A = this chain, B = another copy of it.
Amino acid sequence: MRRTGLSAFPFPLLLAALLLTGAGCAVREADAPLMLPAQDAGAYHGLPGDALLMGPEVQGVAWSDFLARHFDPWERTRPEYPADKVFWGLAAFADKPVYGENLRPRGPAWLDAMAEASKAAGYPSLNRRAIAVANTAMRVLPTEKPAFGDPGQAGEGFPFDYLQNSLVLAGTPLYASHESADRAWVLVESRFAYGWVRRADIAWVDDDFAKTFRTGAYAALVREGVSLADTDGVFRFKGFIGTLLPVAESVKSTEDGGLTVMVPARDVLGRAVVRYAHVAPGDALPAPLAPTPDNFAMLADRMLGEPYGWGGLYTDRDCSATVMDLMAAFGVFLPRNSSQQARLGWVEPLDGESDAAKKARLLEEGVPFLTLVRKPGHIMLYIGSKDGEPVVLQTIWGLKTRQSGVEGRRVIGRTVISTLEPGANLRHLARPEGVLLHTVRSFNTLP
């Protein structure tokens, strides 16, 4: 199936992912068996480093599609998502016990307060264009405070805040549909997800800004945590792999070979204004990048070892953010939700296949760096093979364990390169469901 079923991104976005996740206090064993010795994304594809994994025409179509989706929030005159979608949290937590930042149960008064803050009956109330001027959290409800599952259960408690939907990178075009009763939160729609963001982290976009900011030429940040200060020396925000910014048309390159990009800023009345920032050579490249193994591996290697960030907490990435941000640099659109990601491109269902058959099919049909491997609540990127075993790059919380009947987690907690059977040698790995391969359901090749 190709690019269907995307009429609405499915939220509850991250709940399913809890199947895989878990809190700390895990078994302490050497990391070695959990990942491959060579944490080097270029070591497994077996192709010429400069081979084009997508043809120019295919990539061109993907990039057009990406840009249309990226800026689509500025084309809207009304919200794309109805109230029952955007306020799903109010219903979802009505009969699900959640715990607060003090690890005590939240009572019904909390949900009442959230309902009042959400003003669902008045939706939509804003209908304005906006842009993120900071890297900011997208929340399920208009609050920065968390809602955890039972902290006493494996795979619950910190960091699994059910209210954390996604990170929104600075520079992301937004459609602002609604605001909270206290006005501190704005409900927005983006290319990849919707939810509440802090009012202070966005700015209103008018026609002039929207026109100026769509230069047609864009730069992809290709390094993590690039500090962006404007030409007046004012710090704006940090850029990450996944950040896309317009290249300033008049000054596309600078003397040192870097790029001058537009960065959105917020004026004193909350309106977006264009500022300019210089990006050093090697920190950004014209987007989309050439889809070569070398380029994919360069970016992937910069993500390796970074800590897992549930729903983008602390500007870290979870499984789906890693593939979304990586693909963005190559102009390939992915939504934020892993099960939606798994429906794009050429999908190969694997239901009912043996583990051996799954591996064989992946090795035969997978394209390194373009094939996603899916199990419920988790997504991985196929990057080649080692000794006849498929190799994936993934951002993973941990592996399910069982010891004297008690479920636990062997925490990995970062972006790693592994086989599809990491931890297979662990004594307490929950078998069979703790073996990733066992629950792999499909793979899909982008774009």
Contacts and interface: CB of A to CB of B under 8 A. Distances in A.
Contact of A104 (B184, B234, B275, B414): B414
A102 to B, nearest CB: 3
Contact of A157 (B158, B234, B270, B313): B158
B268 A100 contact: no
Given A308-B102, A411-B103, A157 B24 contact: yes
Interface stretch (A54-62, A225-233, A240-248, A278-286): A225-233
Given A184-B227, A265-B268, A268-B273, A134 B200 contact: yes
A69 interface: no
B182 A307 contact: no
A267 interface: yes
B268 A144 contact: no
Question: Which among A225, A307, A397 has the greatest number of chain B C-beta atoms within 10 A?
Answer: A307
A302 interface: no
Nearest to A103: B24
Q: Interface extent on A, as a size class?
A: 35 or more
> How many identical chains are in the complex?
2
Contacts of A23: 103, 151
Contact of A184 (B102, B182, B238, B270): B238
Interface string A160-190: 0000000000000000000001111000000
B101 A235 contact: no
A304 to B, nearest CB: 13
Contacts of A199: 235
A3 interface: no
A88 interface: no
A89 interface: no
A295 to B, nearest CB: 25
Given A101-B307, A102-B411, A414-B102, A227 B183 contact: yes
A152 interface: yes
A414 B145 CA distance: 14
A42 to B, nearest CB: 22
A145 B314 contact: yes
B269 A234 contact: yes
A294 B309 CA distance: 46
A293 interface: no
Nearest to A200: B134
Nearest to A24: B103
Contacts of A229: 183
A316 interface: yes
A225 B413 contact: no
Nearest to A227: B182
Contacts of A146: 314
Contacts of A152: 24-25
A266 interface: yes
Interface string A65-108: 00000000000000000000000000000000001111110000
A268 B151 CA distance: 42
Nearest to A101: B314
A315 to B, nearest CB: 8
A134 to B, nearest CB: 6
A238 B183 CA distance: 9
A291 interface: no
15 contacts: A102-B316, A103-B159, A144-B314, A144-B315, A145-B307, A145-B316, A146-B314, A182-B225, A183-B235, A184-B227, A184-B237, A199-B235, A232-B269, A234-B269, A265-B268
Interface of A: 23-25, 99-104, 134, 144-146, 151-152, 157-159, 181-184, 199-200, 225, 227, 229, 232, 234-235, 237-238, 265-270, 273, 275, 307-309, 313-316, 397, 411, 413-414
Given A101-B316, A183-B235, A200-B237, 9 more contacts: A24-B151, A24-B157, A101-B308, A102-B159, A102-B411, A102-B414, A104-B413, A183-B227, A234-B270
Shortest 4 CB-CB distances between A and B: which pairs?
A: A102-B413, A24-B103, A158-B158, A183-B235
